Structure formats: C-alpha cells, structure tokens
Amino acid sequence: MNHPNIIKYYNSFADKMNVYIIMELLDGYSLGDFILSQSEKQHRVTEEKVWAIFVQLCASLRYLHVEKRVVHRDLAPGNVLIDGEFNIKLADFGLAKRWGTQSASVMKSFVGTILYSCPEIVQSQPYTEKADIWALGCIMYELMTFKQPFGAGNLLTVAKKIVDGEYEPVNEDHYSQLLIQTIKACMTADPAKRPDILELCQLMVPVIMEQLDTLRTESQLSALEVKQLKEKHRDFAQTNTTQFGFRTVG
C-alpha cells in the first residue's frame, strides 16, 4: 500500500526463529494517547482538529475500501498514529482482509475489539467493509467526548447497547450539527442504512470545500484550479445527497 495516511511497509525477512517486518518509523504517538492526554488536561478537542483527523482517516479508508478492496477490521485509537506535524497514519493490519471478491464478498470472523465492533459482528452475522465505518464513528465519538460510546457495563450490556445503537448523544453546544450528524451516520445500527466510505465522503463535502480554500492559500493554487476541484466534488456530491438527511452546500 502506498498512501500518505497509511503506515508504510518496506520489507520483511525471517530467520529460524522469527519473522521481521521493516516499516516506516513514526516519531509521534497514538490517537489513544492523544485522547487520554486531552482528557487528563480537560482540553476539549476543537472541531477543526476533529475534522482534520476525520478527513485523513476517511482518505485512508477510501484508499483501502475502493482502490485496494481491503477491510482493516481492527480500527481503534491505538491503531491510529499521529506524527509530529499532526499527520494521521493508519497502522496494524494484522487482521486486515481482502474483500469484495466472489470468494469473499462478506466476512464472518469475530475479530477486533468489541468496544469498536459493529452490531452485525456482535450478533455473529456476516459483515462487509461497513464494519470499518462503524468503528470510525466510535473512534471519533471518543475523540469528541473522551468516552467510548458503548463502554459502560459488562460485555453483555455492551453488546446489547451496540446492537440497539444506544449511546449518549454528543453535546450540541460543543460541535456543529454537520459533525455530530456525520458521526451519527457512521454508527447506524442497520448496516443497510449505514453509509459506505464514498457516501460518507459525500456528507463531508462542505468541509472539503473549506479545506480546498485553505489549500489554495497554502500552496497558491490558481483560482481556476480551485474552481475545478470544487466543481468535481460538487458533481460527486449531487448523487444521493439527501439519503442521510444532509443538503450539499458551498
């Protein structure tokens, strides 16, 4: 894999006792460490920073799901790394699986951490790449609230809450409706109604538009280039923009 938001694998070799994997060295920390640090300091993560993390994770999942047909299956804050410039890198592909072929259109193995597992996994039902979308929603909820959405109680209680999609809402005074509703869409209990990664990107079009304006300022793109990029995103978003209760703006 070759993507700026995915940790790079370079090579591997083995001796009689071990297998060694050579990977990109990242001088930073995990998203789990970042959440814990912000929680201990009682520093609420700003909406701008939440979007920055969210958009980068969506970029990595789009590459995985659409271009590589791979499902990560173990998305959790500890497997999301942050470098010194606050670039996000998705790591730990030990449970990843190729998906979308005739021989593997769905998956059945119970893998990953139950706190970030979707209802279909908890109920031992077949699941698709949308399991990653659910886990992404759980991660972002934890980033915004410093709490796991389904973390209270014993395993049976956690499992029931997951199946019912029952969690405490995000404080609407702290974050915009667009952000809250986008995270809510990720944690839709019915996988048929849960967005895939392309549909999730549609929901974020207003934020992508703003970031393109920032990109123009930082890299001095011409006004024409920015206009072309915006038109491309707007055309992409016009399909099913109301499916999850959003209206395209910008």
Residues annotated catalytic, as ranges? 74
Where b means 16+ CB within 10 Å and e means fewer, 148-159 reads bbbeeeeeeebb
Helix, strand or coil for residue 74?
coil
Token pair of 221 as six digits: 């793109």
Do residues 131 and 73 lie in contact, with contact meaning Cβ atoms separated by under 8 Å? yes
Token pair of 109 as six digits: 């193995």
- Cα 94 from Cα 8, distance rounded (Å): 14
- Cα 143 from Cα 148, distance rounded (Å): 9
The distance of Cα 203 from the centroid of its chain, to the nearest Å, equals 13
Any long-range contacts for 21-25 (C-beta under 8 Å, 24+ apart)? 24/89
Do residues 87 and 30 lie in contact, with contact meaning Cβ atoms separated by under 8 Å? no
The distance of Cα 191 from the centroid of its chain, to the nearest Å, equals 16
- Cα 30 from Cα 38, distance rounded (Å): 13
Number of residues written out for the chain: 250
